Amino acid sequence: MDDLLTSLTARLGSHDDVETRLVKRAGFMYDDPHPGVLEWMPAMVTGGRAVVKVVGYNPSNPRERDLPTIVSTINLFDVSTGRLVALLDGVLPTALRTGAASAIATDVLARRGRPVVGLVGCGAQAVTQLHAISRIREIEQVVVYDTDPDASASFAARTAFLDLPIRVVDRLVLERESDIICTATSAAIGEGPVVDDTEFKPWIHVNAVGSDLPGKTELPFEFLKRSLVCTDFPEQALVEGEAQQLEAADLGPTLNELARDPDAFAGTRDQPSVFDSTGYAVEDLVVAELFLRHAREMNLGRTLAVERLEGDPRDPYTGLVAGVVPVGIAK
Amino acid sequence: MDDLLTSLTARLGSHDDVETRLVKRAGFMYDDPHPGVLEWMPAMVTGGRAVVKVVGYNPSNPRERDLPTIVSTINLFDVSTGRLVALLDGVLPTALRTGAASAIATDVLARRGRPVVGLVGCGAQAVTQLHAISRIREIEQVVVYDTDPDASASFAARTAFLDLPIRVVDRLVLERESDIICTATSAAIGEGPVVDDTEFKPWIHVNAVGSDLPGKTELPFEFLKRSLVCTDFPEQALVEGEAQQLEAADLGPTLNELARDPDAFAGTRDQPSVFDSTGYAVEDLVVAELFLRHAREMNLGRTLAVERLEGDPRDPYTGLVAGVVPVGIAK
């Protein structure tokens, strides 16, 4: 996580629209045989690496197929040659980079001191949100809430490695006590907001992680209006983040700007702020490169020959004489 | 190839815009540190499989990095679960499906009988063009031409498995003698056309395979104007195919329409026709499924655990206690 925070801060802080290219995620939505989405998220650093993450989102997976709702894989490419450099599972990298992005925003926008951190929604994202924030602030106390009591009850066990005092509380207690809140819920479209705006501390900082679909939001409109709202990828946030509730003109600095010049925003730490995290492919690129580097250092992973690079490029059947067709079946 | 012709004809012929979803290929073009493109081509059959092919195009690869110009990999997904089902090299599948698409068009649009087939450009694509056409017509004679004498001279050896009479000829001889021509050149942008239109037979059928970039075309405008021009994916062909030279209203039936009702076009076989092949992701989907099926039947390929599907979905660090991070390093 420390490595990721360092790498991601450096990449975001030095972001340059010419050197780093990305597109909004795009995909196929479907209703048959059940509702779901298959989407792809590409980004490229010119002359460096490119990433294409493909995400399958099938909410009926757990109940009907004993699989996670989200299944994803990340392809990492070397741009100069076009070669695939690594293929990795996308779930852990995504959770890690989402936590790291919140920590980078929190470090710039939240008050100094020992905060109480409140987690609304206690699933996998809450684990990495807390982990990442614990690396940039000495946390006094963690208060957690989930509409599913199993999720809140098991949270302390899942974050035991952080050795932090964790209390399961009512949502209004959480809102009253927290200096920093992370919302990472699976509230359905139209179901939000998932917090009120009645007892927030004047300096509250919220990392809003859950909204990732048009129509899905977690924070009250009035709270957004009175807060400094920072986004990771404004064009995308206006379509699928909390920023859906706002206009482009209402948005504050981007995460890139926070990372580039954190001191410029120190004056806002006593005011309410929001990091509207929709997740974007540059974050995936950084975390995939980090996984690859660590895997090589730790001698993890498997080496595969997938691409056929040898033989006569004018003969597509080169190498088939031996009956060897290079197919990696990933299942 | 026979399996592919059957599968591709069936898929194209039953094409339904609701069931089959695809987007035009998109990508990042770059000039630094050398000119190239990284592009992705997604397609999905709802409730079935989806494909994302990623293609790296780096013309300086052979000279400077001892690698092929085009390196590509195909990810095949199960849509209902979101899972990656297979990862395979894209070069051979692409050459095969491009050949198969031309054969499907040729079978509908070209005269019956034993044709003379002319190949303008004798690289890898020419091999699979000829292979595929040899499965739908008994070929009388093959005449070949390439601006690079090494390519034309080595063509017979590369297609020896087809056991066809092959002559290297001048381009004008090729144009005069051929009943069917395939153009598959790497003519640069603005360099075309690569054939004249002076001595074509009245019933000439041309598969134009090489144009795949804005500005790159292989056929003379006048010839296109007097021919029945069929495209694989009209929106894309109008941007990067021979159809760049035409308007949408000038285009004849699509490949899907040819596959669906071949008899409807029998009356055009004595007139000049063009199949404007730009390549599209539905073809990649069909060929990737075929590779997977054959690999399983022949017990080829390797089985990999890439996705982490076990453990507590609320705990992103599940499984890490054993120090095992699932990373497939493809190099």
Rounded Cα–Cα distance for residues A207 and B133 (Å):
59
B24: chain A residues, CB-CB within 8 Å: none
Rounded Cα–Cα distance for residues B322 and B324 (Å):
5
Q: What is the pLDDT of residue A115?
A: 98
- Whether residue B24 lies within 8 A of chain A, CB to CB, comes out as no
Residue in B86, B154, B308 closest to A89 by CB:
B308
Rounded Cα–Cα distance for residues B118 and B128 (Å):
13
Tokens of B6: 């059957």
Beta bridge partners of B237: none
B329: chain A residues, CB-CB within 8 Å: 85-87, 292, 295-296, 301-304
- Whether residue B314 lies within 8 A of chain A, CB to CB, comes out as yes
Rounded Cα–Cα distance for residues B257 and B234 (Å):
12
- In this prediction, residue B177 has a pLDDT band, given cuts at 50, 70 and 90, of very high
- In this prediction, residue B311 has a pLDDT band, given cuts at 50, 70 and 90, of confident
The answer to whether the complex's ipTM is over 0.85 is: yes
Whole-angstrom CA distances from B129 to A50, A293, B159 are 32, 42, 11
Instruction: Work out whether the CA dihedral B18, B20, B25, B27 comes out positive or negative.
Output: positive
- In this prediction, residue B307 has a pLDDT band, given cuts at 50, 70 and 90, of confident
CA atoms within 13 A of residue A164's CA, in its CB half-sphere: 27
Residue B328 has pLDDT above 70, yes or no: no
Q: What is the pLDDT of residue B320?
A: 61
- Whether residue A330 lies within 8 A of chain B, CB to CB, comes out as yes
Chain B residues 50-79 within an 8 A CB cutoff of chain A: 50, 52, 54-58, 61-62, 65, 67-73, 75, 77, 79
Interval B85-126: pLDDT, tens: 999 999 999 999 999 999 999 999 999 999 999 999 999 999
Beta bridge partners of B63: none
- pTM, to two decimals: 0.91
Rounded Cα–Cα distance for residues A280 and A232 (Å):
7
Q: Nearest-CA neighbor of A202 among A118, A106, A110?
A: A110
Chain A residue at shortest CA distance from B302 = A328
Q: What is the pLDDT of residue A6?
A: 98
Peptide bond before residue B193 is cis, with ω within 30 degrees of 0: yes
Q: What is the pLDDT of residue A329?
A: 45
Q: What is the pLDDT of residue A138?
A: 98
Rounded Cα–Cα distance for residues B105 and B136 (Å):
10
Interface contact flag, B81 A67, Cβ < 8 Å: yes
Residue in A47, A84, A306 closest to B32 by CB:
A47
Distance of CA A101 to the CA centre of its chain: 7
Alpha-carbon gap: B205 to the closest alpha carbon of chain A (Å): 24
Chain A residue at shortest CA distance from B58 = A81
Element (H, E) at A103: helix A91-109
- pLDDT digits (tens), chain A, 331 positions: 999 999 999 999 998 888 999 988 899 999 989 999 999 999 999 999 999 999 999 989 988 988 888 899 999 999 999 999 999 999 999 999 999 999 999 999 999 999 999 999 999 999 999 999 999 999 999 999 999 999 999 999 999 999 999 999 999 999 999 999 999 998 888 888 999 988 999 999 999 998 777 888 999 999 999 999 999 999 999 999 999 999 999 999 999 999 999 999 989 999 999 999 999 999 999 999 999 999 889 888 888 878 888 888 889 887 664 434 444 444 3
Interface contact flag, A307 B44, Cβ < 8 Å: no
Chain B residues 186-225 within an 8 A CB cutoff of chain A: none
Q: What is the 3-state secondary structure (H, E, C) of A261-328?
A: CHHHHHHHCCCCEEEECCCCHHHHHHHHHHHHHHHHHHCCCEECCCCCCCCCCCCCCCCHHHCCCCEE
Interface contact flag, B123 A313, Cβ < 8 Å: yes
Residue in A32, A65, A83 closest to B46 by CB:
A32
- Please check whether residue A30 is in contact with residue B79, taking contact to mean a CB–CB distance below 8 angstroms: yes
Q: How many CB atoms lie within 10 A of CB B5?
A: 19
Alpha-carbon gap: A188 to the closest alpha carbon of chain B (Å): 18
Alpha-carbon gap: A208 to the closest alpha carbon of chain B (Å): 18
Q: What is the pLDDT of residue B321?
A: 45
Residue B325 has pLDDT above 70, yes or no: no
Interval B207-260: pLDDT, tens: 999 977 788 899 999 999 999 999 999 999 999 999 999 999 999 999 999 999
Rounded Cα–Cα distance for residues A226 and A243 (Å):
13
